[in-house]
């Protein structure tokens, strides 16, 4: 080694502290689930039926196990355990991993010992790491003057699995033990487990809707879906789709049920992963020139943006996958359409507000009458013939003024038969059909006021 060289290599301790500092335990766990879902996407991009992820959290250990295909030894050697994604790394289509640190960051965040076992069609191997031993591991390299130079050894050792496998199907098994004290306490806290359940159900709702099964301590998780009114006789959302810089983006905006105010706002997905949720800030157009700040009057607003690319570096997400990089070129392309959508939807919401005390009743009526579309179906739906339009609901806004001496009658019937009845009666909507059938009953029974 040349005598005038000054070493600039990072220490392992510094590197571990830096990559784990700005991520929560919840986010670290969801990062590991992202890896499993990447495997599911390689098996069947549109339908995850039959694929399963099991999470086990106790005060002594953390385990995540899946049957989502696993990864090969070659992938482990060249990419999966590298600290950073090599320039020659293959595309991980449908992934949200960008920098090649997610799995390592999560493991270092949780505890001091871990096992990673993977079974694929090609290999079945296991890596067993004691973090303290690994941090202290050194290697000797020869220098130009004939001496040996000691440097940090960043490599991991693997073994082929020939007995005592943790996996019977192709997939991945990760176990972390010797948990950090604060992590152990969290894993024993029911409030934390409930919060984690909520995070997974929201952030991975798209994958859950594709029928992947996720279990947390043997309890199944359910999809916390986002729905927008999409009624054949009523409201239809704003829509635009474009492709720039190898990224396809779709902007869809319209109305949703009143629910809770926190559900209103923009939802942004990158390769089907929710990265910004119910946003009401300037970053998504609110409170900018010609657009008002979010207000409770706009509680029904729902906006969805999908960014999809095989080259994840082009996606506008942050390293923690919990926000949007508003400076990215692709986000700058999409934002004007998001603002345009707000300008199309907000006038209707203001009109509803003018109903005063009866506004909430009208909002509830819409929620009861309008057909709805889920986020996964929304992404597949063809809105191209309605590009950049927002269609107001068919339910007349003045109908609320007529409800003082009325009651609502609601029931579910077969959709095909309902459409036949609507066409036969020449009704313009299911609401009109309901009135028609009631008036028909009155006529047939010749009811009189008592």
Range of the domain at 422: 415-445
Q: Do 21 and 103 belong to one domain?
A: yes
CATH of the domain at 167: 3.30.565.10
Q: Which three-class secondary structure string do you get for 57-89? A: ECCCEEEEEECCCCCCHHHHHHHHCCCCCCCCC
Cα–Cα dist 81/85, whole Å = 9
Q: Do 202 and 267 belong to one domain?
A: no
Residues of the chain under the 70 pLDDT cut: 1-10, 19, 79, 82-101, 142-148, 398-408, 447-450
Q: Which of 393, 304, 404 is nearest to 358 (CA)?
A: 404
Task: Specify the pLDDT at position 379.
Answer: 86
Task: Specify the pLDDT at position 193.
Answer: 97
Cα–Cα dist 116/107, whole Å = 10
| DSSP track, 306-369 | EEE-SSGGGS-B-TTSSSB-TTSHHHHHHHHHHHHHHHHHHHHHHHHHTTGGGHHHHHHHHHHH
Of 220, 242, 269, the residue that ends a domain is 220
Q: Which tens digits make up the pLDDT trace of 367-417? A: 888 889 988 888 888 777 777 889 988 777 766 555 545 666 777 888 888
Task: Specify the pLDDT at position 184.
Answer: 97
Q: Do 96 and 159 belong to one domain?
A: yes
Q: Which of 173, 219, 181 is nearest to 59 (CA)?
A: 181
Angle (deg, nearest 10), helices 430-445 and 415-425: 70
Task: Specify the pLDDT at position 350.
Answer: 94
* Bridge partner list, 56: 63
Count the Cβ atoms, other than its own, within 10 Å of residue 347. 10
Q: Do 42 and 142 belong to one domain?
A: yes
Write the burial class of residue 150 (CB in 10 Å: 0-12 exposed, 13-18 middle, 19+ buried): exposed
Q: Which helix (H) or strand (E) holds 449?
A: none
Q: Do 193 and 317 belong to one domain?
A: no
Q: Do 258 and 278 belong to one domain?
A: yes
Number of domain units in the chain: 3
Task: Specify the pLDDT at position 447.
Answer: 61
Q: Which tens digits make up the pLDDT trace of 19-68? A: 677 788 998 999 899 999 989 988 998 899 999 999 999 999 999 999 99
CATH of the domain at 296: 3.30.230
Task: Please check whether residue 164 lies inside any domain of the structure.
Answer: yes
Q: Which of 334, 375, 326 is nearest to 204 (CA)?
A: 375
Task: Specify the pLDDT at position 152.
Answer: 72
Q: Do 371 and 434 belong to one domain?
A: no
Q: Do 129 and 212 belong to one domain?
A: yes
Count the Cβ atoms, other than its own, within 10 Å of residue 257. 19
């Amino acid at each position: 080694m040349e005598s005038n060289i000054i070493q600039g290599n990072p220490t392992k301790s510094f590197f571990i502290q830096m990559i784990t500092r700005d991520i929560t335990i919840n986010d670290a766990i969801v990062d590991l689930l992202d890896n499993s879902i990447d495997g599911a996407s390689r098996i069947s991009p549109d339908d995850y039926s039959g694929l399963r992820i099991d999470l086990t959290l106790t005060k002594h250990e953390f385990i995540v196990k899946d049957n989502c295909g696993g990864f090969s030894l070659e992938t482990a050697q060249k990419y999966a355990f590298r600290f950073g994604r090599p320039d020659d790394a293959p595309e991980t289509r449908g992934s949200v991993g960008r920098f090649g640190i997610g799995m390592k960051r999560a493991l270092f965040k949780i505890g001091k010992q871990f096992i990673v076992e993977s079974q694929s069609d090609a290999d079945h191997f296991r890596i067993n790491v004691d973090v303290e031993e690994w941090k202290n591991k050194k290697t000797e390299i020869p220098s130009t003057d004939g001496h040996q130079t000691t440097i940090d050894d960043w490599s991991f050792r693997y073994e082929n699995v020939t007995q005592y496998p943790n996996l019977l199907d192709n997939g991945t098994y990760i176990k972390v033990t010797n948990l950090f004290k604060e992590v152990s306490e969290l894993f024993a806290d029911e409030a934390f487990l409930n919060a984690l359940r909520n995070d997974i159900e929201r952030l991975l709702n798209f994958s859950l809707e594709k029928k992947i099964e996720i279990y947390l301590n043997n309890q199944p998780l359910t999809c916390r879906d986002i729905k927008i009114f999409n009624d054949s006789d009523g409201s239809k959302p704003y829509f635009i789709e474009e492709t720039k810089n190898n990224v396809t983006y779709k902007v869809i905006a319209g109305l949703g049920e009143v629910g809770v105010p926190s559900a209103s706002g923009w939802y942004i997905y990158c390769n089907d992963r929710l990265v910004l949720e119910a946003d009401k800030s300037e970053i998504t157009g609110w409170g900018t020139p010609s657009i008002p700040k979010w207000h409770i009057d706009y509680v029904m607003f729902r906006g969805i943006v999908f960014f999809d690319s095989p080259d994840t570096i082009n996606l506008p997400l942050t390293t923690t996958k919990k926000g949007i990089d508003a400076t990215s070129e692709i986000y700058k392309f999409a934002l004007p359409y998001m603002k345009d959508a707000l300008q199309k939807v907000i006038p209707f919401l203001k009109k509803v507000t003018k109903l005063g005390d009866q506004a909430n009743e009208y909002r509830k009526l819409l929620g009861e009458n309008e057909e709805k579309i889920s986020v996964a179906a929304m992404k597949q739906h063809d809105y191209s013939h309605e590009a950049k339009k927002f269609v107001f609901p068919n339910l007349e806004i003045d109908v609320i003024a007529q409800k003082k001496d009325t009651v609502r009658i609601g029931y579910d019937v077969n959709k095909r038969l309902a459409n036949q009845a609507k066409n036969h009666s020449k009704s313009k909507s299911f609401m009109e059909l309901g009135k028609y059938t009631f008036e028909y009953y009155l006529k047939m029974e010749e009811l009189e006021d008592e």
